[in-house]
Structure 1
């Protein structure tokens, strides 16, 4: 069973390609379960996400495609939600979806993974930034609002790496993820970034496996060419760590399948 559960559309304003093109590429690659999880609307950073007034159109896009392709592939419908207290919206959090991905892209409203704001890394203590990131991730998990943890160690994207052991930095976040019964996505987008490796790292995957935290797979595609990117590398790694099953969702109910 091939799963790719975190992907985008042009409605986020920074992706290319039609919904049909993404799905047809997924079918071509033999993907069995393909999920769209657009950047959810909120009243902050509107240029990089779906607009509130487009929520219904997005829903219609994906559910229409789900019906059109039902004999060829299982299409899932979700949102990637930025964890940013005071800015998350109930229209998103209570939407009728298959899953919600909780992601941390901001530290004190600083978009640390956006190349436009890379100067924000200058003259800062790298370990303190990493600690703040994992504290936000822990709070996201503790909120109980989400099903999947998006790209757990996204903070490494530009290769500003901590001196402290990442396993210690992430320890409390992983405990919160386990207690909240969340799934960890193995996201291949990091292979396309300066860091050049999967999210999360092998070390954190090993910690997640030790905590019996389930996983799923995603390419985080923002173009058709990125659909299914790095899937074989991801599955090879997680099998080496010990995983044999991955999570999929329907109506926010989770099941584990052999991949």
Structure 2
């Protein structure tokens, strides 16, 4: 069975299409399960919509949930529509975010680090002019946040865990054991990481995470899931078959999705 747990829509301000468009795309692409997981609002902000081109307004959050739940009922028997959210992780605001999510019947929550050291992980200039030692510091800060997110208890899935390489491919080769330390934590916390195929749309030109990280993830017993991170409907399920093939080559026997926060295993 095919599934895709990471999709966005127009509310976040940088995706196109309605939630229904993504559900319909899932049906066209032969999915049995589609998860809707748009970007969480900036709940800790004093303004209604912090950075409108990045995340939905706070007042839209309840409407977002309501719309997904209606579509879940409408498409019952055609495709299983799951209620998810891609949540930013800010350690200082973790309790606030948790309290917001507890109000709603999420099937799963993806925890993604988008800001590290106060700078976007997608900032194309963040590594310009840095010494090798400074690059190591940036990488270790990033993975420290991912490790904290794994231990927070907030998430079933961690999103794009090496996306800092999106516009800086040498990121992968910055020498540190932070990746192994973080994968060990993720394995111990028994949560999943996604294979996110949106990396192919960035300068790095490949999925997140890189194969070497997936090999280490298998070593640490980390579960894996699939997310296209589609920001337009035609990318729903993108490269699903290729990812399945690669995971089998690496040695994975199954991957997972989540329903009512309970892990469901699917043989590869």
TM-score by length of 2: 0.90
Using the alignment, how far apart are the partners of 2:145 and 2:230 within structure 1?
24
User: Aligned residue for 1:30?
Assistant: 30
Asked if 1:156 corresponds to 2:162, the answer is no
Q: Secondary structure at the match of 1:249?
A: strand
Choose from 37, 50, 54 the match for 2:56: 50
Matched ranges for 1:187-206 at <5 A:
187-206=196-215
Choose from 83, 94, 98 the match for 1:90: 98
Using the alignment, how far apart are the partners of 1:27 and 1:249 within structure 2?
19
Using the alignment, how far apart are the partners of 1:7 and 1:141 within structure 2?
21
User: CA-to-partner distance for each residue in 1:3-60, whole Å, 9 max, x for gaps?
Assistant: 1001111111111012121111111111111101111112355421122211111011
Shift of 1:62: 0.7
User: Aligned residue for 1:213?
Assistant: 222
Asked if 1:99 corresponds to 2:108, the answer is yes
**Contact kept? 1:221, 1:227, Cα under 8 Å:** yes
Asked if 1:73 corresponds to 2:64, the answer is no
Matched ranges for 1:227-242 at <5 A:
227-242=236-251
Shift of 1:61: 1.2
> What RMSD over aligned residues (CA atoms) do the two structures have, in Å?
1.6
**Contact kept? 1:40, 1:92, Cα under 8 Å:** no
Using the alignment, how far apart are the partners of 2:20 and 2:119 within structure 1?
34
Shift in CA distance, 38/18, structure 1 to aligned 2, threshold 3 Å: same
In structure 2, the gaps of 5 or more residues are none
User: Aligned residue for 1:222?
Assistant: 231
**Contact kept? 2:136, 2:175, Cα under 8 Å:** no
Using the alignment, how far apart are the partners of 1:61 and 1:157 within structure 2?
32
Using the alignment, how far apart are the partners of 1:40 and 1:6 within structure 2?
13
User: Aligned residue for 1:7?
Assistant: 7
Using the alignment, how far apart are the partners of 2:248 and 2:136 within structure 1?
30
TM-score by length of 1: 0.93
Using the alignment, how far apart are the partners of 2:20 and 2:105 within structure 1?
22
User: CA-to-partner distance for each residue in 1:159-179, whole Å, 9 max, x for gaps?
Assistant: 24244446x230111111111
Using the alignment, how far apart are the partners of 2:170 and 2:178 within structure 1?
12
Using the alignment, how far apart are the partners of 2:214 and 2:14 within structure 1?
29
In structure 1, the gaps of 5 or more residues are none
Paired residue total: 255
